[in-house]
Amino acid sequence: MNIGQEVLALLKEEISEIEYARYIKQLNYDEKKSSAHMALFHAPNALIANWIKSKYKEKIAHLFEVKSGMKVAVQIVLGDVVEKQKSKPKSESVIHNSLLNPSHTFENFMVGGSNQFAYAAVKSVSEKPGKVYNPLFIHGGVGLGKTHLMQAAGNFLQNHGKTVIYSTVEQFLNDFIRHVRNKTMEKFQEKYRKCDVLLIDDIQFLSGKETIQEEFFHTFEALKNAGKQIILTADKHPKKIAGLEKRLQSRFEWGLVADIQPPELETKIAIINKKCEINRVKLSKDIVYYIATVIESNVREIEGILSKLHAYSQLMHVDITLEFTKNVLKDHIKENRANLTLDSITQFVAKDLNIKPSEIKSKSRSKNLVYARRIAIYLCRELTQNTMPQLAQYFSMKDHTAISHTLKKISELIENDEDFKAKISELSNKITSSS
Ligand code: ADP
Ligand code: MG
């Protein structure tokens, strides 16, 4: 028995048989790739991987520490990564830095208004690497698909025989330090300057790190001059990354800068359906719709939610119904919206509709104010824990029946008026993603 198996055997003692059989037993310890400080496990699918990450990872790390006396970082990756490597003859030309996630493909990426520009840019760069936009710089908020899109290009180009390096800034930095320490800088330079395609994720972490910026500058120049494709991502536009050298900043804008916005409702629905298909989870339309309205912009939450639903339904032997989904997601919603207040929502709506917050809260019956007030009331009800009397007081209405009446009216509008529904969901997305 290797240490990984021993740790899992210890864990078996601590959890129920069914949990063990369903999740832990599915893990495979990768002895070759693990080290004294890192334990790598493969899980057969994303659901199991996510579930284990959220529920058992810390326990596993703790057991490793107990067994080996050293702090060990536990990593759970998808199983088919190993399968592919085994079956493929090892090609000298493919140097992996960190593995590309094989499910991050163009086919699995759902395109909508929020990401179509970035998608089109990445697509065209994949078809003509080094020829159209170099570098391609993608920016956008957390969990909006930057890494997925960048890796889709990586997977595509790798399948077309290109040498692709994918690396986060952190890995690039660690690699650099290691080579400096081992006095093997020429190896480092060869690795990063001889590839066909360099993907660097989360460039904002270069901020304030001068030495690595210097090194990255030379890597960039070498690749760019050799006509090799560079794709970068960050959480903001290069201009807005503080602590970034001017020469890098300007170079990042040389090619094309494309942004990804929070997804619209339809795109979220398409993404959820796709994730269900990939993870073989069956959900009814109303549940998919519900999840799409509950999650705000961060698409990463979808996978967590699906694995939660899947795991709970398995452990409790129940079907995934809408009621069940609502229950499972209750905490999730509360946690995410804790910081939204009546004031912040009202201010947001007022700003968006170009009126004053005080006007929304006034008693005026002018048409545009009634419209704004309805939207604000609805969003406050949806996004905060305030009761109807509290809302009545805040919006200068007579009592809770007035609020209840307004909410009923809004529900009718949402049902019958597509524009109104779209406006509500747009604002809801914006508010929750900015909170
Ligand atoms: P970021 O790098 O922008 O923080 P990721 O690329 O890691 O976000 O995306 C988070 C999760 O959401 C991933 O599981 C990814 O597959 C998924 N995702 C994001 N956007 C889309 C999309 N348009 N279609 C399908 N999946 C998406
Ligand atoms: Mg990312």
Interval between CA 149 and ligand 1 midpoint (Å): 8
Interval between CA 45 and ligand 1 midpoint (Å): 16
Note whether 297 and 143 are within 8 A (CB). yes
130 vs 133: CA distance, rounded Å: 7
Note whether 387 and 309 are within 8 A (CB). no
Ligand nearest to the CA of 202: 2
What number of other Cβ atoms are within 10 A of residue 65's Cβ? 13
Rounded to two decimals, the pTM is 0.64
Q: What is the pLDDT along the chain (435 residues), one digit of tens a residue?
A: 888 998 999 898 888 877 888 889 989 998 888 877 788 888 888 778 888 888 898 889 888 887 777 778 888 887 754 444 444 433 333 334 557 888 899 999 999 999 999 999 999 999 999 999 999 999 998 889 999 999 999 999 999 999 999 999 988 999 999 999 999 999 999 999 999 999 999 999 999 999 999 999 999 999 999 999 999 999 999 999 999 999 999 999 999 999 999 999 999 999 999 999 988 888 999 999 999 988 877 888 888 888 888 888 888 888 889 988 988 887 667 666 667 889 999 999 999 999 999 999 999 999 999 999 999 999 998 888 778 888 999 999 988 899 999 999 998 998 898 888 888 888 887 887 665
Note whether 135 and 89 are within 8 A (CB). no
Backbone angles phi, psi at 359, to 5 degrees: -70, -35
Interval between CA 422 and ligand 2 midpoint (Å): 28
Question: 3-state class of 140 per DSSP?
Answer: strand
Identify the residue whose C-alpha is closest to ligand 1 atom 25: 109
Note whether 81 and 227 are within 8 A (CB). no
Interval between CA 414 and ligand 2 midpoint (Å): 34
Given this structure, which CATH class describes domain 3-91? alpha beta
> Atom of ligand 1 at shortest distance to CA of 233?
2
The CATH H-level (homologous superfamily) assignment of domain 116-260 is P-loop containing nucleotide triphosphate hydrolases (3.40.50.300)
Positive or negative CA dihedral for 350, 351, 356, 358?
Answer: positive
Fold of 265-336: Helicase, Ruva Protein; domain 3 (1.10.8)
342-433 maps to CATH 1.20.120.1810: no
Q: Is the CB of 236 under 6 A from ligand 1?
A: no
Q: Give ∠ CA 299-302-305 in degrees, rounded to 5.
A: 150
341 vs 328: CA distance, rounded Å: 24
Q: Is the CB of 142 under 6 A from ligand 1?
A: yes
Identify the residue whose C-alpha is closest to ligand 1 atom 27: 145
What's the pLDDT at 425? 83
Domain ranges for the chain: 3-91, 116-260, 265-336, 342-433
Q: Is the CB of 303 under 6 A from ligand 1?
A: yes
**CB contact set of 281 (below 8 Å; sequence gap of 6+):** 47, 275, 306, 309, 310, 320
